[in-house]
Amino acid sequence: MDWFVLVARLKPHALEDARELAAQVEPSAIADFDRFGVFLSEGEVVFVFEGEQARETVRAHLNDPVESTALSPWIPLFDGPLHAACEVYAADAGA
């Protein structure tokens, strides 16, 4: 199982709009993943994708002119680029 994480800084006062967008995520938009989450702080949004070949699947969605429109409402809220976060440590308690 792979994780892929995308992070963006939010513009000042964009938190409430980001909460509203997160509440509107369509299940069909995340059908290619086993799990998906949106995490918000006062100044950042974090998108977490989990599934087989998560990185490649996200990249394929972002490169598709139709699929990538799901990200469009978020872009005005970003204060800088959306970028990948690299995994530097992960543990599995069951291992």
Q: Across-strand partners of 89?
A: none
Write down the residue that tokens 């799990």 correspond to.
35
Instruction: Report how far apart, in Å, the C-alpha atoms of 25 and of each of 28, 45, 47, 73, 94 are.
Output: 9, 14, 12, 11, 31
What are the domain boundaries of the chain? 2-85
- Which whole number is the average pLDDT over 83-92? 91
Inter-residue contact 20 to 4 (CB < 8 Å): no
Structural tokens at position 56: 């490649």
Domain 2-85 sits in CATH at 3.30.70.100
pLDDT category of residue 4 using cuts at 50, 70 and 90:
very high
Q: Burial level of 45, CB count in 10 A (0-12/13-18/19+)?
A: buried
pTM: 0.91
Backbone angles phi and psi of 32, in degrees to 5: -80, 5
pLDDT of residue 95: 62
